[in-house]
Every structure is written in structure tokens, then in C-alpha cells.
Structure 1
Amino acid sequence: MPQNKLSWGEALQVYLKPRVLAMFFLGFSAGLPLLLVFSTMTAWLRDYGVSRTAIGFFAWVGITFSIKVLWAPVIDYLRLPLLTRWLGKRRSWMLVSQLGVALGLLGMGSLNPQLALTQVAVLAVWVAFCSASQDVVIDAYRIEAVDKELQGAMAANYVFGYRVALLVAGAGALYIAELANWPMSYTVMALLMGVGVITTLLVAEPDHSKVKAQAASFQHAWVDRMLGSGEHGPLKEWFVRAVACPFIEFFERNGRFALVLLLFIGIYRLSDIAMGVMANPFYLDLGFSKSDIAEIGKIFGFFCTIIGSFLGGLLVVRYGIMRPLILGAAMVAATNLLFAHLAQVGPDKVWLAVVISADNISGGISNAVFIAYLSSLTNQAYTATQYALFSSLMTLPGKFISGFSGVVVDAQGYAQFFVYVALLGTPAVILAVYLWWRDSRGSKAASGT
């Protein structure tokens, strides 16, 4: 937490710092490929007459984003020939992954799905792999580029850029396909990856000199402990240094409390993710039109999310991470009660706007603050691997529970479902309060008060 609380004006000025501004463009680069291998791609495939069964199998492409922790150690540890010396550890991997996405999108746009569906699938997996790799390295760069106090602002700008990219890759790509054709649409999207490439070439590489010696000493000690001090194969040594050490360091640094932290990471977004899959069916079943959902839920909701993200960043700069973390958890859980009320009110556009604004602002605040919190848990010697672990863990429980959401709605109705989802958020609020209390007690002990 900052030693001196900043004024609101001083807090706002952090968004003008070059590296904070750069996160908008890197967030855009990270968000652009996502829909191009998901909903936009499925529209393209269906437009070419691909069967629904075949399109359904393309959902498996998304598994790539859930298992990025498996190759994050390679990004953390492996130097790229020539590029690492020229650009540095993070920017070299960033550039390679961005160029990989762009080439993959160009390749997809050059194919006819009716004649080359297998090749489209292979390239979609390639784009997803490169995109997930870009996520890993951008997350690592964001954490290493600035001090902890600025992580909220970095996260807010990242979310802003990411959301803008989703609009471009969703509505923008469909609009281009309608006016021209799908090859042109994917070609334009590939060219827009140049935003990330240019940003990567312009930003400065973070300083790794402070943690390099510390990491080398830690890794050497564990290589000797696990493999012995004698001769051992280079592959075994690489596995200990690149794969085992990031996890060992996290548990060694936090002790048994690491399990509490992992539990908190897994449940913080439980309420948010569990209700998400039922949102659009809820609006339709309640009687709202598709245009109502598009205008209020998507466009109006987009701006509310951006507002929430920037508020989250400001709160972290001004008050530190822990208190906004509690606020975000409480707001996300509480807004589900508004959905329950909307289920009783019916298709009232005013109430829909109230609910959407509350849900998206609270989601924006909680996401920005939570990203800053996860960033604070990493050791900069193993940023990519540890953050990839956290980001994978934070969605798994929610995705699992959300699979039963339809069962609950069919059995007890939407109103009861949203009450249950609100209750799912209660443990995260309680645990956030406990973490704040523990952090405050540790700060007082350190200061001798």
C-alpha cells in the first residue's frame, strides 16, 4: 500500500504515464484474436454452410487458453536466438506471438471452409496458441514494467484495450464481411495486429537485473536438492529450473497460507462467472428484444465496464489493493440480487439499464482490482508462469459450476437462481476481509505499531 495517500487528481495522472498508456494498445492486441477463433469464426463457418455439428467441435479450440500454464515456463525461461538480445526477454516473445497470430489470421482468411475445414481448424488452434502465449507474456510485462501501486491503472487500461478489441473483432469483423467478404475481414484483422507489433517495438523492456541473480541462486539450490550435486541431464535441470521452481518459490514464500491464497483466487469470480452463461437467455425469456439486449446489454454495458475498470484502477492507486478488493467482491455478489429483482419486475428497460450498469461497473472494478492483486502475488523471477497459474485457476471453479446453472433455473426459476449466485459470492467477501485484516496486522507488525 502506498505510504502517502494520493489526491484524486494525482491518482488520475497515473493514466498519462507512458507504460500505462501502452497497456491500452497491448490489451487491444491481446483481445483481438479471441473472437476470431470463437463467435466470429462460427459465424464465418455457418455462412459458408458448415454443419452445426462441425462448428460445435470448434469450441475445443478454447481449451488452448485454459492450459497456457503448461508452456508458460518456456516463455519465462527460454531465450529466443537474436531476438532476445535485440528486444529483451519479454518483448521478443511478445513480437513472435503477435506475428504468429497475424500470419494465422491471414492463412485462415485465404481458405474456403467448405473445401479446407481441417486446415481452418489447424490454423484456428495455431492462432489460439499464439494468442494464449501473447496473453502470458503481456501479463508478465504488465507486472514487471511498473511498481505495485500502478498495477490497478495498468489493469484498467489493459481491460479498456481488450474490450475495444472485442468490439472490433466482433461487430467490426462482421460489418467488413457484410460489405466485402470474409477473406477481407480476416485480412483486416490480421493487419490490425500491427497495433501490438508497433507497441512492442516502442515500449521499453522491464529491468530484470534485480531478480536475475536471486533467481539463479534459488534455482541452483533446488537443482542440487532435487537432482544432487553430481552429473545430471540438461533436460532434468531445465525442468527443475523452469517448471518446478516457480511453483516451489510460491509455496516456499507463502507457506501453508499459499493454499488459502489459491482458494481465494478460485472463488473470487465464482459469482460473476456462474451467472454469466444464463444472462442472455434470461433477457430473452423475460421478454426483451434482441435490439434491447444489443443496445443496453452490450453497447451501454461496454461503457459501464470501462468506467468500472478505470474506477478500479483509481481506487488501487489511492487506497491500495486490499480495501478495493473487498468492495469489488461485495459489489459483484450484491448485483445478482438486482437480477433477481428484475426477474420479478419483468421486461422494464429502465430496470434493465440499472441492472446492466450496476453489473458492468462492479465487474469492471472487481476485474481491475483482482488483476492488480494477482500481479502482487507473483515473484518477478517467475512472473509468466505464476500469473498463468493464477489466471487459469480463477476461472475453473466458476466454469464448472456454471454448467449446472440451467438445471437450477429449470427447477426453481431465474429469481431463485440469482439469489443462489449472490450467496456463492459471500465466501469471497469473507475471505477478502480476512486477507485485508491479515495484511493490516502484518503492516502494523512491520512498522512496530
Structure 2
Amino acid sequence: MFSQHIKTGWQALEVYRHPKAIVLLFLGFSAGLPLMLLFSSLSFWLREADVSRATIGFFSWIGLAYSIKWIWSPLVDKLPLPILRPLLGRRRSWLLLSQAGIVTGLVGMAFTDPAQNLERMALLAVLVAFCSATQDIVIDAYRIDTAEQKLQAALAATYMTGYRIAMIVAGAGALVVAGFAAGDQTGYVPQAWMVAYLTMAALMGIGIVTTLIISEPAKPTAPPVLEQRAINWMANNAHLPTPVVKLAGWIYGSLICPFADFILRYRWQALLLLVLIGTYRISDIVLGIMANPFYVDLGFTKQEVAAVSKVYGVIMTLAGAGLGGVLATRFGIMRMLFAGALLSALTNLLFAAMTYAGHDILWLTAVISLDNLSGGIATSAFIAWLSSLTNVNYSATQYALFSSMMLLFPKFLAGFSGVAVDSIGYPQFFIMTALLGVPVLVLVWLASKYMNSKTD
């Protein structure tokens, strides 16, 4: 019996050797790199440049680009890019364009000193966020289009692995490069951050090379029922001016159908699912903006943060993502969704305890490790669940809606995190973020009951 369990465990792990899983590893790296450079590393840079905590909190609103990406996701789903589309295909053309925009924005940020020109830094960060959000739209659609449902949990796990490796590189790597470039100079050295961000811009080449190598996923041949209505309407109104007919048909097929399809499939329960999507990661996101300023205020150095939070902690996230993928395959996505939400809320309480421990490396290591392990489990289960909700005919638009909903309210609320810390202090703030996870557990339970009844 024991040997049979071992054999089953190895068979479950074999899924990670699938070529599509390996591709998602590199695309995950490309997705994770700009995110860390917009939030974690940038918040450290801004704090060193003597930017106030409140302003750093407001800077997190740049991340709202990820929350409203559903607005332009229909263009990514349906609009062909001239020149690039014939050469690369529907998904890869948008992927290459967004990656080029990220590189451009990061280079611009490298040559900007936030202590001298904070407004320019904000605009360039918005450019990177917009292009990064667009890249996310395409990668998510590629993942859903290229593999069947049974592979989605494994693809989500390898995507998260690549994503977290990028977090090591863009988090710890950026801090280490900046520290090395500063040399013996003490205090704030803007030239050191310039070197760090130029290095990160060059590393986006990994994503660009992957885009050029991978094959374009097959496009569904038969139009969905809802789009067939648009085709019939266009045929019945051919007497109208051709540009008007084509525009009306495109708007219906690209903008209305993806959202109508979701509502028709889930009806009134769609509201329950959207509320759960919009609040599932609220505990982590609200806390995350203040994590680096918290480390700075406790007296941790860049090297200490890099060694623990940006390397060892991220490695624990990789373990959590891999574990979450295997457990979701074995025990079901909804159970792991509940477990991930519970663990994410509980680990936030450890940050509150850490405020009393002060500058203690052992405490930092334990707290970050447990927090990132639970985050990896939660995220891999969450990505797999979101993928299961999409229709392959509208994969880019629908998944963009879901992932945007995931970030919209939490990111808005996180913008006030600096103000909250200044008002009530770190311990009470961390306890508050843990309590935000309690309603999420109820929503997961309700959604699980609905999903189970739908499959019966």
C-alpha cells in the first residue's frame, strides 16, 4: 500500500515535465519581473529616496492597471496587429508588443531619480504597469488556449514557479545589484538604482526569446453561439453601410459576448463568483504594500531583506505553488482554495507578533517562510479555479475580467495602507488584514456548494 502511494505521488509530479508546463515557466518569469520592479523594489527605492510612506502607499495605485485590464482585453482577444499578426499570430504578436513596452518603460525608470522627478517616475511606472498587464492578458489566454483542463493546475504551478523566480531576480537581484553598484558609498545613491533597473530591463529578453520560440495555439474554428447571432445580424443588415455593419458586429462579438457568455453560464451565481474573485487575495495584497517599509522601519538592511524575504521566502513560495498544484490535482481545487485562504489570513497575524520581536533574523525567516508557503498554495489553486471558469472562445477577455476583479478592490484599499499604519500602528494594521480574510472563507464555502451542485 505504501509503495502504491509513492508511485501515485511520482505520477502526479510527472505532469511538471510536460513541454507546455516548461513554456509556462519562462512566461511566468516574464510576467513576474516587472511586477516586483513596480512594487517591492520600487517601494524600497522610494523609501531610500526619502519619499514618505503615505506617498509610497499612493504609488501602489499604479497597480490598478492590473485591475482594469479587462477594459482593453477584448482588443487583445480580437484585434489583429498589423505586420506582427501575419508573422507571429494572434497571441504571440500581442505578447511581443507588450514585452517591448515593458523594456522601454524600465529603461526610462532607470534614468529617472524619484528624489528629483517623482512625477516622471510615476508616469513611466504607469507605462510599465499597462504593458505588464497586457502581457498578463496574453499569457493567461495562451495558457488556457494551449492545454486541456486537467493540465491547468500544473501549468498554474509552473507559471507561479517562473513568476517567483522572477521575484527573486527582480526583488533580491535588484537590491543586490544596487548595493554592489553603490560600492563604498553610503546613503541614497541614485546611480546604483539606475544600474539595477537597466539590468532588469535586459533580463526581459528571456520573455522575448520565449515568445519568438513558442508556437501559436490553435484558434477555435467554429464561432460561439452568441457570435453567430452577430454574424446573422450582419448578414440580415447588409443593406446598411458596410463600416457601420462591421463595427456593430465587432462591438457585439468582442465586447458584449464575453461578458454575456459568463452571465448566461452561471446566471445569478455569477455575482457570488465575482465577489469571491474580487476579495480572495485581499489579506495578502493589503499587507504586501507595507511589507518593505515595515522591514526598513525595523532596521533591516537591503542585504538582510534580500537574503530572507527575496530569496529564501520566494523559494518557499515555489514549494507552496508546487505543493498546491499536486494537492489540487489530488484533492480538488475548491478544497485547496479554502485551505489557501485560511492559511493566508492566519500568517498575517505573525507579522503583528514580529513587531514586538524587532530586528530579529530568525523571526523574519520564520514569518516570511510560512507566509510565502501559504501564498504559493493559495495562488496555484486560485489560478486553476479561475481558468476553469473561462470559455476558450473568450479566454483573454474573461480571464482578464477575473484577474482584474481579483486586484481592483484590494489594490484600491491597499492605497490607504500607509495612512492606516501612520494612524493605528503596524500591529493593529496586520491584525486588521488578517480579519479581512474571514469573509473570504464564507464565500469559498458558498462557491464550493454551488460548484459541487453544478457538477452533480
Q: Same fold (TM over 0.5)?
A: yes
Shift of 1:249: 0.9
Number of equivalences: 434
Shift of 1:313: 1.3
Report the counterpart of residue 191 of structure 1 in structure 2: 202
Shift of 1:23: 1.1
User: SS in structure 2 opposite 1:213?
Assistant: coil
Are 2:381 and 1:369 equivalent residues in the alignment? yes
Q: Aligned pair in 2 of structure 1 residues 221, 368: CA closer, same or farther (>3 Å)? A: same
TM-score with structure 2 setting the length: 0.81
Indicate the larger mover: 236-245 or 132-141: 236-245
Among 301, 321, 324, which residue is 2:333 paired with?
321
Report the counterpart of residue 206 of structure 1 in structure 2: 217
Shift of 1:176: 4.4
Partner amino acid, structure 2, of 1:272? D
Give, in whole Å, the separation in 1 of the partners of 2:60 and 2:354.
31
Partner amino acid, structure 2, of 1:432? V
Give, in whole Å, the separation in 2 of the partners of 1:112 and 1:398.
29
Report the counterpart of residue 273 of structure 2 in structure 1: 261
Q: How does 1:236-251 map to 2 (within 5 A)?
A: 236-251=248-263
Deviations 1:328-352 (A, max 9, x none): 1121122234444545666655444
Among 358, 369, 386, which residue is 2:370 paired with?
358
Q: Aligned pair in 2 of structure 1 residues 430, 183: CA closer, same or farther (>3 Å)? A: closer
Give, in whole Å, the separation in 1 of the partners of 2:196 and 2:293.
29
Report the counterpart of residue 398 of structure 1 in structure 2: 410
Shift of 1:440: 2.8
Deviations 1:203-228 (A, max 9, x none): 2222223xx4132x422315767998
- C-alpha RMSD of the superposition: 3.8
Give, in whole Å, the separation in 2 of the partners of 1:87 and 1:14.
28
Shift of 1:21: 0.9
Among 180, 199, 221, which residue is 2:229 paired with?
221
Report the counterpart of residue 101 of structure 1 in structure 2: 102
Report the counterpart of residue 179 of structure 1 in structure 2: 181
Q: Aligned pair in 2 of structure 1 residues 91, 277: CA closer, same or farther (>3 Å)? A: closer
Partner amino acid, structure 1, of 2:162? G
Give, in whole Å, the separation in 2 of the partners of 1:436 and 1:40.
37
User: SS in structure 2 opposite 1:30?
Assistant: helix
Report the counterpart of residue 169 of structure 1 in structure 2: 170
Q: How does 1:1-12 map to 2 (within 5 A)?
A: 7-12=8-13
Report the counterpart of residue 155 of structure 1 in structure 2: 156
TM-score with structure 1 setting the length: 0.82
Shift of 1:18: 0.8
Deviations 1:68-109 (A, max 9, x none): 222111000012234333432212211222233334445665
Alpha-carbon contact 1:223-1:240 (below 8 Å) kept: no
Deviations 1:25-47 (A, max 9, x none): 11111222334455656777999
Shift of 1:397: 2.4
Alpha-carbon contact 1:222-1:245 (below 8 Å) kept: no
Q: Aligned pair in 2 of structure 1 residues 150, 350: CA closer, same or farther (>3 Å)? A: same
Are 2:142 and 1:141 equivalent residues in the alignment? yes
Alpha-carbon contact 1:150-1:317 (below 8 Å) kept: no
Q: What runs of 5+ residues in structure 2 fail to find an aligned partner?
A: 183-190
Give, in whole Å, the separation in 2 of the partners of 1:302 and 1:198.
24
Q: What runs of 5+ residues in structure 1 fail to find an aligned partner?
A: none
Q: Aligned pair in 2 of structure 1 residues 116, 332: CA closer, same or farther (>3 Å)? A: closer
Report the counterpart of residue 186 of structure 2 in structure 1: none
Give, in whole Å, the separation in 2 of the partners of 1:37 and 1:227.
47
Give, in whole Å, the separation in 2 of the partners of 1:391 and 1:324.
18
Deviations 1:373-394 (A, max 9, x none): 1111111111111111111111
Deviations 1:117-173 (A, max 9, x none): 987766554433322211110111112211222222222222222222233234434
Partner amino acid, structure 2, of 1:16? R
User: SS in structure 2 opposite 1:436?
Assistant: helix
Are 2:76 and 1:75 equivalent residues in the alignment? yes
Q: Aligned pair in 2 of structure 1 residues 411, 154: CA closer, same or farther (>3 Å)? A: same
Report the counterpart of residue 389 of structure 1 in structure 2: 401
Alpha-carbon contact 1:110-1:183 (below 8 Å) kept: yes
Give, in whole Å, the separation in 2 of the partners of 1:306 and 1:153.
13
Shift of 1:422: 3.0
Deviations 1:169-210 (A, max 9, x none): 34434554553966655544333222112212222222223x
Percent of aligned pairs with the same amino acid: 48
Indicate the larger mover: 13-22 or 422-431: 422-431
Indicate the larger mover: 221-230 or 310-319: 221-230
Q: Aligned pair in 2 of structure 1 residues 88, 328: CA closer, same or farther (>3 Å)? A: same
Give, in whole Å, the separation in 2 of the partners of 1:10 and 1:339.
37
Alpha-carbon contact 2:176-2:306 (below 8 Å) kept: no
Give, in whole Å, the separation in 2 of the partners of 1:105 and 1:407.
28
Deviations 1:211-270 (A, max 9, x none): x4132x422315767998563443333222111111111111111110010011112112
